[in-house]
């Protein structure tokens, strides 16, 4: 099979971070083939913070290879703050300030703490003396003229830092913040009390350009300009359609669509698009517009894989007591529900699109990690890297059939085949994503002695080999469903298979829980695709590799199955988050590390790279288990549509009738996935 181009889109601040780390996951094979990369002749490339000098500049007429990726971000957009963390930082800063003032104050016998209890009059006198001496020391230590000059110097310094360059202005707070000093926003002027700010700009924003190692085409980046705030509104991109009228009529989105049009024209045989989108924001509505225009121009059958990212709100928003003191808390919670409803209905509407929601807020429950190993779940670069690695593995077959030699290179399948397998029917509009990072390469309980032949080195030396079938047996495709089936079997006193280990080992759902066993109607799987990176060099002694993969999917009871087994692991770039890498290394057992080391060494040697690698597995499926995610969404959206949509008609550019129409479409999706066992066991006629 010949190569066909795949273009990657990223819309949103978090989505661009995922896309940047996705670019880092490309191997030497990808760079020298045109599925993910394109040739560019020019003077300079957009580069990341850690790019080599050789990739920064290119002579006129020289050919450079850059990823086929387009980024759309808005770093000026205000972000929500974790109010609890912000108050804790303020309290800590206040304590530190009080300690510093006490240490800097001149010694005084009058201000010493009394040894005995003071009377009321003595306490008042003590406070008065303390206030008077503090006022006196502040006046002479910081005269008003010097204080004003100092504040003016700080403001002028901030202006100079903002004018140093557009990239630093977009993606950093100040130079002092980069060097470890307090940021400009952390400075407190004397005599003023700091108050918690819910919406702040350029605070806690993780810039994508610090986590990319590849060069980018000059047309690969478009940054939205700040939206003007209407009276009584918040100047942030929080609503799915909020501000889309202003943005759609501006030049920024037109630039992005023109760049995408040039990418499509540059492709000889386009196989489809891959799209990362921050769906819980205005970028969801922009992604809908971009996809609609693209499908109109490129054809309605153009395949698209949409990874819909839902970042969690701060915990204080869901605490009733804490949310009572937060401005716009109720509104932001309601916007979250409305955004998810619109994203589910509109981004999944085209029949050629595979829509996969990724609920990051539920990951702590999915991974079931102890607090000591769950730190990386709070780190945006780590979660973004996990998504990038798993999604890249899920679509690995569209560019490589696990052959690194140029003569046998080529994809195992194309994106349309993958989309048809994962979405076998137009009514099955929502897919689920599961990942295993690292992919556990477990050794069998009793190592099988293997005599090396002369072709392998000769001699009677024996060594233990890890069999592929043993690895697959210890890695069930739906571990949560397996646990549910085991629990049901124990209730009915029936024998059951051993349950897969938890704690992050094996497949972990990134979309929603899989509570129903596959042998029930509610847990039925209709189509799925599996990719195993790094396990291709394992010995296939019990069954051949092809037969082992077919037997691997038999418990799911579906004939729509697309497996891929490759010996090429996932490359670890120099920006790979240390927290995630440490957790992946600690999660593997000694036997798995020993077995994986041999596989990774051979794959790295064949690929011509000595960089570190990881074994990764991805499982994308269409299942009726998605009902448990869709039903609560419809239940939460129903009262909002009936009572509160008049407050959002202006920001979402929608009328009341349109809200009702979207709710009905969501309910139709829910009904398509509602396949529970309603038959009453005591009724032979099977009433529903």
Q: Write out the E strands in 28-146.
A: 37-41, 63-67, 69-73, 79-80
What pLDDT is attached to residue 425? 93
What pLDDT is attached to residue 172? 31
Most confident among 35-39, 86-90, 443-447 (mean pLDDT): 35-39
Beta carbons of 523 and 558 less than 8 angstroms apart: no
Beta carbons of 472 and 552 less than 8 angstroms apart: yes
CB < 8 Å & 24+ apart, contacts of 374-381: 375/579, 376/577, 376/579, 376/580, 376/583, 379/577, 379/579, 379/580, 380/14, 380/17, 380/206, 381/17, 381/21, 381/206, 381/211, 381/575, 381/577
What pLDDT is attached to residue 646? 85
Q: Is 80 exceeded by the pLDDT of residue 156?
A: no
User: 50-64, 544-558, 614-628 — which is least confidently predicted?
Assistant: 50-64
CA-closest candidate to residue 264, choices 300, 302, 298, 306: 298
What pLDDT is attached to residue 186? 41
Q: Is 60 exceeded by the pLDDT of residue 654?
A: yes
Task: Tell me the C-alpha to C-alpha distance, in Å, between residue 555 and each of 234, 476, 505, 521.
Answer: 51, 9, 20, 14
Instruction: Say which residue, 543 or 403, is predicted with more confidence.
Output: 543
Percent of the chain residues past pLDDT 70, beyond the cut: 62
Report the length, in residues, of the chain. 688
CA-closest candidate to residue 29, choices 529, 406, 520: 406
* Residue whose pair of structure tokens reads 């006196």 in the numeric block: 136
| Average pLDDT value for residue range 286-305 | 93
* Dist CA 353 CA 322 (whole Å): 40
Beta carbons of 162 and 154 less than 8 angstroms apart: no
Q: How confident is the model at residue 101 (pLDDT cuts 50, 70, 90)?
A: confident
What pLDDT is attached to residue 337? 92
CA-closest candidate to residue 200, choices 184, 212, 218, 216: 184
What pLDDT is attached to residue 491? 61
| Average pLDDT value for residue range 485-512 | 65
Q: Is 90 exceeded by the pLDDT of residue 339?
A: yes
| pLDDT digit string, tens, across residues 11-55 | 999 999 999 999 999 888 888 888 999 988 766 677 655 544 444
What pLDDT is attached to residue 102? 72
In a 10 Å sphere around its CB, with 0-12 CB exposed, 13-18 middle and 19+ buried, how is residue 180 labelled?
exposed
Helices (H), ranges, 522-655: 545-552, 578-587, 590-607, 627-643, 649-652
What pLDDT is attached to residue 520? 86
Beta carbons of 390 and 341 less than 8 angstroms apart: no
Task: Tell me the C-alpha to C-alpha distance, in Å, between residue 172 and each of 16, 161, 217, 291, 378.
Answer: 16, 10, 22, 31, 20
Would you call 414 helix, strand, or coil by DSSP? Answer: coil
φ/ψ (deg, to 5) at 498: -65, 145
| pLDDT digit string, tens, across residues 211-233 | 888 888 888 999 887 766 554 45
| pLDDT digit string, tens, across residues 109-136 | 444 444 455 666 666 556 555 555 554 4
* Dist CA 94 CA 106 (whole Å): 20
What's the token pair of residue 412? 């195992």
Run of H or E including 356: strand 353-359
Q: Write out the E strands in 138-269.
A: 199-200, 221-223
What's the token pair of residue 43? 């003077």
Percent of the chain residues past pLDDT 90, beyond the cut: 34
Q: Is 60 exceeded by the pLDDT of residue 529?
A: yes
Q: How confident is the model at residue 78 (pLDDT cuts 50, 70, 90)?
A: low
Instruction: Say which residue, 519 or 150, is predicted with more confidence.
Output: 519
Mean pLDDT of the chain: 75
Task: Tell me the C-alpha to C-alpha distance, in Å, between residue 251 and each of 137, 169, 222.
Answer: 56, 21, 10
356 forms bridges with which residues in the sheet? Answer: 307
* Dist CA 24 CA 17 (whole Å): 11
| Average pLDDT value for residue range 304-321 | 82
Q: Is 70 exceeded by the pLDDT of residue 438?
A: yes
- The whole-model pTM stands at 0.77
- Is the N-terminal amide bond of 561 cis, ω within 30° of 0? no
What pLDDT is attached to residue 309? 96
| Average pLDDT value for residue range 424-447 | 81
| pLDDT digit string, tens, across residues 575-598 | 899 888 888 776 554 444 444 444
């Amino acid at each position: 099979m010949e190569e066909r181009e795949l273009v990657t889109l990223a819309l949103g601040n978090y989505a661009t971070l995922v896309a940047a780390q996705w670019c880092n996951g490309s191997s030497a094979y990808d760079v020298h083939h045109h599925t993910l990369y394109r040739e560019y002749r020019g003077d300079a490339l957009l580069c990341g913070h850690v790019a080599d000098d050789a990739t920064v500049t290119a002579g006129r007429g020289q050919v450079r290879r850059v990823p086929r990726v387009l980024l759309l971000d808005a770093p000026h957009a205000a972000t929500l703050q974790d109010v609890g963390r912000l108050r804790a930082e303020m309290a800590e800063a206040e304590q530190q300030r009080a300690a510093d003032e006490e240490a800097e104050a001149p010694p005084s016998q009058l201000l010493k703490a009394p040894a005995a209890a003071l009377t009321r009059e003595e306490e008042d006198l003590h406070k008065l003396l303390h206030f008077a001496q503090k006022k006196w020391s502040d006046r002479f230590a910081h005269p008003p003229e010097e204080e004003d000059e100092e504040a003016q110097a700080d403001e002028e310094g901030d202006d100079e830092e903002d004018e140093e360059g557009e990239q630093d202005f977009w993606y950093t707070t100040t130079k002092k913040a980069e060097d470890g000093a307090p940021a400009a926003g952390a400075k407190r002027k004397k005599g003023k009390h700091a108050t918690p700010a819910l919406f702040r700009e350029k605070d806690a924003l993780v810039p994508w350009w610090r986590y990319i190692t590849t060069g980018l085409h000059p047309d690969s980046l478009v940054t939205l300009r700040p939206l003007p705030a209407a009276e009584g509104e918040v100047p942030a991109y929080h609503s799915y359609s909020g501000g889309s009228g202003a943005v759609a009529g501006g030049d920024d989105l037109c630039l992005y669509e023109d760049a995408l049009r040039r990418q499509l024209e540059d492709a000889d045989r386009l196989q489809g698009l891959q799209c990362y989108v921050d769906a819980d924001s205005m970028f969801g509505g922009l992604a809908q517009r971009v996809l609609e225009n693209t499908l109109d121009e490129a054809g309605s059958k153009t395949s698209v894989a949409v990874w819909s990212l839902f970042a969690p709100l701060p915990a204080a928003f869901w605490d009733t007591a804490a949310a009572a003191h937060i401005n716009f808390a109720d509104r932001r919670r309601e916007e979250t529900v409305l955004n998810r409803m619109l994203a589910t209905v509109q981004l999944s509407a085209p029949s050629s699109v595979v829509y996969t929601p990724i609920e990051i807020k539920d990951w702590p429950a999915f991974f079931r990690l102890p607090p000591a190993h769950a730190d990386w779940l709070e780190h945006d670069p780590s979660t973004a890297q996990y998504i990038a690695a798993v999604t890249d593995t899920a679509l690995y077959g569209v560019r490589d059939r696990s052959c690194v030699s140029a003569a046998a290179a080529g994809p195992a399948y194309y994106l349309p085949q993958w989309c048809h397998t994962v979405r076998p029917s137009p009514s099955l509009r929502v897919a689920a994503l599961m990942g295993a990072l690292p992919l556990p390469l477990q050794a069998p309980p009793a190592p099988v002695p293997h005599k090396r032949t002369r072709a392998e080195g000769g001699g009677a030396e024996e060594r233990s080999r890890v069999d592929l079938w043993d690895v697959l047996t210890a890695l069930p495709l739906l571990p949560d469903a397996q646990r549910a089936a085991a629990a049901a079997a124990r209730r009915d006193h029936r024998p059951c298979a051993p349950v897969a280990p938890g704690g992050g080992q094996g497949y972990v759902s990134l979309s929603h829980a899989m509570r129903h066993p596959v042998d029930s109607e509610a847990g039925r799987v209709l189509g799925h695709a599996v990719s195993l990176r790094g396990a291709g060099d394992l010995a296939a002694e019990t069954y051949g590799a092809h037969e082992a993969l077919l037997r691997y999917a038999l418990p799911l009871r579906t004939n729509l199955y697309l497996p891929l087994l490759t010996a090429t692991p996932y490359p670890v770039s120099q920006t790979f988050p240390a927290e995630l890498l440490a957790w992946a290394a600690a999660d593997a057992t000694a036997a798995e590390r020993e077995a994986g080391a041999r596989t990774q060494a051979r794959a790295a040697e064949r690929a011509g790279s000595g960089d570190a690698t990881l074994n990764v597995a991805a499982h994308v499926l269409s299942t009726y288990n998605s009902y448990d995610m869709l039903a609560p969404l419809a239940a939460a959206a129903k009262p909002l549509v009936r009572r509160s949509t008049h407050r959002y008609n202006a920001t979402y550019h929608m009328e009341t009738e349109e809200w009702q129409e979207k709710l009905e479409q969501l309910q139709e999706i829910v009904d398509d996935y509602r396949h529970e066992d309603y038959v009453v066991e005591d009724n032979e006629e099977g009433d529903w």
